[in-house]
């Protein structure tokens, strides 16, 4: 069954500039004229559930993709990727997995994500109903960055390129090219190795298939944990991320440590000062024409391990998490990461 979606109007193929947040009205030889409604997915335009760690852990909780897709599109989905080498054969491949030990029977990104959403994407492409595109933002979290791993994922994305939001590789990496919007948008991390693999190695004029994150400043490497928490919470947003997007780096993947000192496990009561801090970070990101994601906002019984949710992102209860969800929604956070997919999705629908 395809996930439910909000009512949308048919529009033409979309070409969007995130550099200026304005839309060119002229057609080109590679695509038809731009529709004004294309701006509905740009930074600050919508608030989406980001389904954190949306894959099984060691064979458990295999229903996470179905849970996420049953909420509503548009949404975001996170997949963690690791490089596995079979000890018997020496053969290596990319797997969707959380942590070692790996067994070799973990799903691949092809089977776990792309083929899972095939009917949804093909229906969207055939129907010409593109107002809500991208329907799914795929967030890739590489747990290892072997050159073979990055190359394998790049090759895989090439097979699905007609489904993907892309931009032309330009000679000048600071020139933010228009996005050719499709049902899927793929975001990845901030590492230089990923930029070399997914941007630098792409010939000029060909398409960028995924987009990296800007690198937020984290202070001196010699800071103690407590000092790093103080730096994160006390540093002005413009000092954390002074630059805007490049053609490749178009979003800010932010820990909640930048909102509340020490993150979820050390958070106290939600205060007006916390709300102001959150709002200042979001406004800065959007002023820089960046999407912003915050991870990971959970609230559950610490003794309940039935869903595989860890302690590191837990505010301690549903009520505590929901206060942050509502504040993030009100602030216009583009992607709110949580393991409580259904609860956050319902809250977004209620508030928005």
Burial class (CB in 10 A: 0-12, 13-18, 19+), 181: buried
pTM for the complete prediction? 0.90
pLDDT on residue 297:
98
Spatial CB neighbours of 159, under 8 Å, sequence gap ≥ 6: none
Q: Please compute Rg for the chain using Cα positions.
A: 20
What one-character DSSP code corresponds to residue 33?
P
What token pair was written down for 257? 């440590």
Element holding 131 (H helix, E strand): none
Strands 75-85 and 92-96: antiparallel
**Domains and their CATH numbers in the chain:** 14-351 (3.20.20)
Burial class (CB in 10 A: 0-12, 13-18, 19+), 119: exposed
Instruction: For residue 226, give Cα distances in angstroms to 119, 179, 232, 238, 271.
Output: 48, 40, 10, 22, 21
Q: pLDDT at position 221, please? A: 87
339: left (phi over 0), alpha (psi -120 to 50) or beta: alpha
Q: Residue 295 forms beta bridges with which residues?
A: 255
What strands, in cross-sheet order, belong to the sheet with 166-168? 14-16, 179-181, 166-168, 207-208
Cβ–Cβ < 8 Å for 293, 267: no
User: How far is residue 290's CA from residue 161's CA, in Å, rounded to a whole number?
Assistant: 23
In 124-279, beta strands by DSSP E: 136-142, 166-168, 179-181, 184-187, 207-208, 212-213, 249-255
Average pLDDT across each block of 10 residues of the chain; the chain has 352 residues. List them in order: 40 40 36 45 97 95 97 97 97 96 96 98 94 97 98 98 98 97 98 98 98 94 93 97 97 98 95 98 98 98 89 95 98 98 98 89
| Spatial CA neighbour of 78 closest among 90, 68, 88, 93 | 68
- Helix runs in the chain, H state only: 64-69, 109, 118-127, 147-159, 192-195, 225-234, 237-240, 272-287, 318-331, 341-351
Q: From residue 299, how far is each of 48, 155, 212 by CA, in Å?
A: 18, 38, 29
């Amino acid at each position: 069954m395809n996930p439910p979606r909000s009512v949308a109007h048919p529009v033409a193929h979309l070409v969007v500039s995130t550099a200026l947040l304005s839309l060119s009205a002229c057609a080109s030889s590679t695509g038809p004229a731009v529709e004004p409604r294309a701006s509905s997915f740009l930074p600050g335009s919508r608030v989406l559930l980001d389904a954190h760690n949306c894959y099984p852990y060691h064979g458990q909780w295999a229903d996470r993709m179905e849970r996420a897709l049953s909420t509503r599109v548009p949404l975001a989905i996170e997949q963690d990727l690791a490089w596995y080498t079979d000890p018997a054969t020496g053969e290596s491949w990319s797997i969707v997995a959380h942590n070692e030990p790996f067994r070799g029977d973990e799903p691949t990104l092809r089977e776990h994500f792309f083929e899972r959403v095939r009917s949804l994407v093909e229906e969207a492409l055939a129907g010409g109903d593109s107002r809500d595109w991208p329907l799914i933002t795929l967030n890739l979290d590489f747990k290892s960055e072997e050159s073979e791993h990055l190359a394998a994922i790049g090759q895989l994305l090439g097979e699905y390129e007609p489904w993907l939001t892309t931009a032309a590789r330009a000679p000048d990496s600071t020139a933010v090219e228009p996005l050719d919007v499709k049902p899927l948008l793929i975001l990845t991390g901030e590492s230089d190795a990923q930029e070399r693999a997914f941007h630098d190695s792409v010939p000029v004029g060909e398409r960028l298939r995924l987009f990296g994150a800007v690198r937020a400043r984290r202070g001196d490497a010699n800071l103690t944990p407590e000092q790093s928490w103080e730096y994160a919470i006390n540093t002005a947003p413009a000092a954390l991320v002074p630059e805007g997007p490049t053609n490749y780096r178009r979003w800010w993947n932010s820990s909640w440590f930048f909102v509340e000192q020490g993150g979820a496990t050390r958070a106290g009561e939600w205060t007006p000062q916390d709300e102001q801090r959150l709002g200042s970070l979001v406004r800065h990101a959007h002023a820089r024409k960046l999407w912003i994601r915050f991870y990971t906002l959970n609230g559950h019984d610490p003794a309940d391990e039935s869903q595989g949710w860890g302690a590191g992102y837990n505010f301690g209860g549903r009520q505590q998490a929901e206060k942050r969800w509502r504040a993030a929604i009100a602030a216009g956070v583009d992607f709110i990461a949580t393991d409580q997919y259904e609860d956050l999705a319902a809250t977004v629908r209620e508030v928005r």
